[in-house]
Amino acid sequence: MNLARRKDRHSNVQAISLWSFAMISFLSLSQPLFSHPSFESNASLEMTIADEIVQGKVASESGEALIGASIRVKGTDKGTVTDIEGNFSIALPTDEPSTLIVSYIGYEEQVITYTAKAGAKNNLSVNLKASSTNLNTLVVTGYGVRAKRDLTGSVASVQAKDIKEQAVTSFDQALVGKMAGVNVIQTSGAPGGNVSIRIRGVSSISAGNNPLFVIDGIPVTNDTRSASNGVNSYEQPFNPLASLNPSDIESIDVLKDAASAAIYGSRGSGGVVLITTKKGKSGKLRINYDGSYGLQEVNKKVDLLDAYEYAQVVYDGHNNAYFDAVPTGKPTDPNSVRPTNPALRVPPQILPYLAGQQGLTNTDWQDEIFRQAPMQSHTLSVSGGTENVTFLFSGAYLNQDGIVINNNLTRYNTRFRVDAKLNKFSFGVNMSPSFSTNQVVNSEGPWFAPNSGVVSMALGYAPIFPVYNPDGTFADSVNVWGYGQTNQLNPVAVAN
């Protein structure tokens, strides 16, 4: 079995302490960490001889003081926050224009250019405008569509522009880090691999914890507890939601509170994910193309022994077993004088490596099973219509190679949607057929048969053996060497 060198990693954790409430007139921070009030009893203002102190006040448009508003100097580490009366003090270079960035939660960020004058009374007054963009955003709920300002439940939203910025094969991968209280983990790195979504944590031990997915009002599930990919019991099942083209999605709304169970029953006990797909808009004919291309590769390989180092470890291991059985033995004793137990004898395959002979087989099995894998996605859509009838037609193609050889996902999507209104009636047609093929490789699991995982096999396979025989066939029979050594299958042969 191959041996890996261990490399310890240590991470530094920086603790941040918030002191109790205290009234102050100014505060200096090396870097603003929060946009809410933070006070210290012993505040100091960092400045140089060439700096001038600028005093000011931050308030809303109505004149109400904003406590804890952040004031930063662009391009530097200078910053401060306002006190309970909205006042602040900050040191700025004399007779040089400085760019101040003033921000506060719920208000639009304001950028101000100010020049501090030497010997003058430098005062600055800032009035921030309330941000109503987020409050006016429409959110899909179980009962319909309403503005965020009218919501009483806990709902998180992701819009189409947020999904478009990421090169993902399924929309659930785009939710990573986008919503508070929604934990998204990709359990497999294979193309079309499963994704675990947990809303409000784990709520059940024996029952499912996956949320209910509702696509354009139709409930679907990605429960894969009883699913199998037909490869082995260690391999993660496929993601059933990977058949949906992320470019067809208009918005994703997650119902996180218990009210979702009142709408969808026990199926919504793990939360509800509402998916709204795009539809046509009245007006001129619109033709849109969305495409991406990227490369995937292993970020860091495991540092393993090469063939010469491996041969030395095998030699030492067999000699240690020999000395335990024959304490008077010597490392140079040939196999002819050693006991018949093969574990006590030195495998002849490693002798040329021990002699330092150059040009021998030295296979890096990680290089043999891993590759730089391309990924491309293309979507073409046509939409338009009148005030009463709108339509959208789209076609998509995805091709993703896995970083393990011979692993691939190919997907074809089409979508046809027509929405019509006639007086008080609304009706439409929404069809989205898809076809996908997934060429699977046993990448997960242990090294031993019958569920051999090629990654584990590559980490444990002896580097003294070649990948191919001289005639181009996979080298399997020559890799059975006995002498108490573990015999494995060729990882490349298994992957192919």
Beta-sheet pairing, 155-159 with 182-186: unpaired
Within a 10 A sphere around the Cβ of 333, how many other Cβ atoms? 16
Q: Could you tell me the pTM of the whole model?
A: 0.62
Dig out the tokens for 319 from the structure: 């000699």
> Backbone dihedral region of 87: left (phi > 0), alpha (psi from -120 to 50 degrees) or beta?
beta
Beta-sheet pairing, 272-277 with 97-103: unpaired
Terminal Cα distance for the chain, rounded: 22
pLDDT at 8: 40
pLDDT at 399: 94
pLDDT (tens, 9 = 90+) of the chain, 496 residues, equals 444 443 343 333 333 333 233 333 333 333 333 333 333 333 334 445 468 888 999 999 888 899 889 999 988 888 899 998 899 999 888 888 999 999 988 888 899 999 888 878 888 899 998 876 555 555 555 445 545 444 445 677 778 777 777 777 777 777 777 777 788 877 777 787 777 788 877 766 666 677 888 888 888 766 554 444 445 556 666 677 778 888 888 888 888 777 666 777 777 777 888 888 888 888 899 999 988 899 999 988 999 999 999 999 999 999 999 999 899 889 889 888 888 888 888 888 889 999 989 999 999 999 999 999 999 999 999 999 998 999 999 999 999 999 999 989 999 999 999 999 988 888 899 898 989 888 888 887 776 666 678 888 898 888 988 999 888 888 876 566 777 677 778 889 888 8
pLDDT at 493: 87
pLDDT at 396: 94
pLDDT at 232: 54
pLDDT at 59: 92
DSSP 275: E
pLDDT at 162: 75
pLDDT at 243: 81
The residue length of the chain stands at 496
CA max distance for the chain: 102
Within a 10 A sphere around the Cβ of 220, how many other Cβ atoms? 14
